[in-house]
Chains A and B, each alone.
Chain A
Amino acid sequence: MSAEPESPANRLEGLALTILFAAISSGLLAVIGLATRASAKGGWWTQPWLMPGIALGLLAVANLVTLWRDLADLRRTPPTDAEKVEGRAALVAWLRPLEFLAYYGVYIYSIQHAGYFPSTLVFILFLLWRVGLTAPRWILAGIGLSLFMVGVFRIGLGVWMPVPELYRLFPEALQTPLIRWF
């Protein structure tokens, strides 16, 4: 649940979203014959395509209704130039989460090679820097959060992680606690 209500969504952005959903649902519905298999045996109610067919049919209809509604609204009140600019900016904003998810992907990759604690620490500190939280108290908070994660999940709950290559470089006496807890 988002804490604060966001400003009303841009209508052109909404239209783009609806077109995208309508295309995906129609596409999925179109390939139902390939993606599921009909059976000559059994009654109609047991056919594997029935439930996906109902769900996708409902999805396609709901998307078409939304599309029709959006188009009618835009015909009634054509978008202003400012709205068009805002719509384009909103579409570009869809890429913003992708940036953070790209960092997240690198984080997941690094866990398998550099270990959970070092990766988490670097990931948290990097994200804090990226979102502009660079004051010393945020760095301390980030370090605290990393230690909290390790304390609760690795040491406390014993969540297993693959053995990273980095830990293999340490002396043998250190390897066991590093692999087990960090």
Chain B
Amino acid sequence: MEFLWLGLQQLADPVVFFTMCIGAILGVVVGAIPGAGAAVTISILLPTTFSMDPLNGMTLLLGVYCGAAYGSAIPAVMINTPGSPVAVLTALEAKPFVDRGEARRAMSLAYSSSFVGGVLAVLALMVLTLPLATVAKNFGSAEFAMVAIAALVLVIIGHGGRRVEATAALAFGLFLATIGIETAYSTQRYTFGFLTFLNGIPLVPMVIGLFAMSEALIQLTSRSTVHPVVQLKGHFFQGFMEVFRYKRTLYGSSFFGIFCGILPGVGEFLAQQVSYVVAKRFSKEGHMFGKGAPEGIIVSEATNNAVPPAALIPMLALGIPGEELTAMMLAVFLVHNVIPGPDLFVTRPEFVAGLYWTLLFMNVVIILFLLVATNTIAKAALINKRFLGVAILTLSLIGTYASGYRFSDVGIAMVFAVLGYILRSHRWPLTPILLGVVMGPIVENRMRQALGGANGDLTIFVTRPISGIIVAALAILIFFTLRGWLKGRKPRQDWQINDT
């Protein structure tokens, strides 16, 4: 109780509250602009949060993360263009609603299911993180290494249809993480004599180049299309309670989103796809899915919004980021010397409790903002893509430069921008590169420690109970994945392809 009270005290700080509101509103707006989105915004904002208090920095980034998950539904409904890949299903289901003149109803269903999914996930975060951290206190290096490897394997499996490309991207990220001076013998690896690389590839320029600048280049070279905006008519709260007529779907998809958020490497896109297929199979109105089913919107939005808070569970409890955005946020922790993991609850309880409450109140702030500003935000979704590209490119410079006050970092960002542009144009996933860079040192150091303790005996990973269970689970997962692959798959539909 005292722990939660501590968090409320943090939230009562006007700076924290103000930052939360700014982050949430910014997140909604950028989520509603196709081509902007959470990844671009967080990567640009990342260096500016380094000078903030860790709670303020995290609150700002989480506001963008959660707000964007809500905001992406706006263009999906109102201009039938998903703000991000995770809103593809919402766009698919909302189109018949709009055609029937029920845009307000579709929007309300999206908002209310997003709210329920988001709030339930924050509650899960509050309830589950501490027990998981307590269990993790018994983890040794072998267990941490296996959890990290499991996350990497899940990242690959999560990119169904592009697993070979995801493997290559992940391996490339793992390789990038090895560049610089290694710790065991203080020797250089792949620096080729460049002093710039002695400390490794800097994370922020890499992230900005891969995610923001490459997006800007795509926008600059794209053609703008004009979509008509549907105006929402009717009372603000109209249709808000309808979502509770589908309790099983609502809570089922929320809990599924939470489960997938906890699993490192799964992410909202895969969670949403699986949740949608399962809900379609078990719903009494399964035949209506894809033709304007309320449950279709509920599944899409509840699952999508449940993932971000749940993704913080493994990061806070184990120090393992599950997807690209939490991987970026890990940088904020490390800059402030806040070490996520089991000890975080002892060393920085006010920080953890503050995060809980800000996340909970963030959902309220977002929903209130959406109730009054949806029509206005929808206009932001129509921003000219090339102008957006100019804005992102200009913002990227300040983001990259401010991370280390070195113009050489901008050069590194430019290299990754070209790489990101080429990979995106071939729909090669970018997320595994980032996760490889972030997880690489964790895997290498933990493996070295575990094997050092066992004098190089690899059976250490199967003889320790928890580690052994993870190895067995991974073996089963890989077996079934390979079996499915060898048997051949059905061709994937457009909405099942995630660009990142």
Contacts and interface: CB of A to CB of B under 8 A. Distances in A.
B414 A52 contact: no
Consensus secondary structure, chain B interface: helix
A69 B48 CA distance: 44
Interface stretch (B103-111, B182-190, B248-256, B258-266): B182-190
Contact of B217 (A4, A45, A100): A100
B379 interface: no
Given A36-B190, A123-B394, A127-B393, A141 B387 contact: yes
A138 interface: yes
Contact of B407 (A56, A108, A142): A108
Nearest to A90: B425
Given A28-B190, A108-B407, A120-B394, A5 B168 contact: no
B178 A52 contact: yes
Contacts of B39: 1
Given A100-B217, A100-B393, A66 B410 contact: no
Interface stretch (A80-88, A153-161, A167-175): A153-161
B187 A100 contact: no
Contact of A3 (B35, B164, B386, B451): B35
Nearest to B399: A153
A4 B81 contact: yes
B342 to A, nearest CB: 25
Contacts of A106: none
A168 B187 CA distance: 45
Nearest to B400: A108
B145 to A, nearest CB: 11
B390 A142 contact: yes
B391 A107 contact: no
Contact of A131 (B188, B220, B410, B417): B220
Nearest to B175: A55
B215 A2 contact: yes
Given A48-B184, A69-B164, A127-B390, A104 B414 contact: yes
A164 interface: no
Interface in B468-500: 494, 497, 499-500
B57 interface: no
A94 B460 CA distance: 48
B414 A17 contact: no
A153 B398 CA distance: 8
Nearest to A69: B164
A98 B419 CA distance: 11
A104 to B, nearest CB: 7
Given A62-B164, A62-B168, A5 B494 contact: yes
A111 B407 CA distance: 10
Q: Is the interface of A mostly helix, strand, loop or mixed?
A: helix
A54 B452 CA distance: 18
Contacts of B466: none
B215 A104 contact: no
Interface stretch (B82-90, B280-288, B351-359): B82-90
A124 to B, nearest CB: 6
Give the interface centre of A6, A104, A105, A111 by most chain B CB atoms within 10 Å.
A104
A136 interface: no
A178 interface: no
A55 B440 contact: yes
Given A5-B499, A9-B427, A42-B184, A128 B390 contact: yes
A76 interface: no
Given A51-B440, A51-B444, A101-B417, A63 B168 contact: yes
Contacts of A51: 174, 177-178, 182, 440, 443-444
A21 B426 CA distance: 13
B246 interface: no
Interface string B166-200: 01101110110110001011011111100000000
Interface in A1-49: 1-6, 9, 13-14, 17, 21, 25, 28, 35-37, 39, 41-46, 48-49
Contacts of A94: 422
B171 A58 contact: yes
B410 to A, nearest CB: 5
A-B residue pairs, 8 tightest by C-beta? A3-B34, A62-B168, A59-B171, A55-B174, A58-B171, A45-B451, A55-B175, A131-B386
Given A1-B85, A36-B187, 20 more contacts: A1-B39, A2-B35, A3-B82, A13-B426, A17-B422, A25-B168, A42-B184, A45-B451, A56-B171, A58-B168, A93-B221, A100-B220, A101-B418, A107-B397, A124-B390, A131-B386, A138-B387, A141-B387, A145-B390, A145-B394
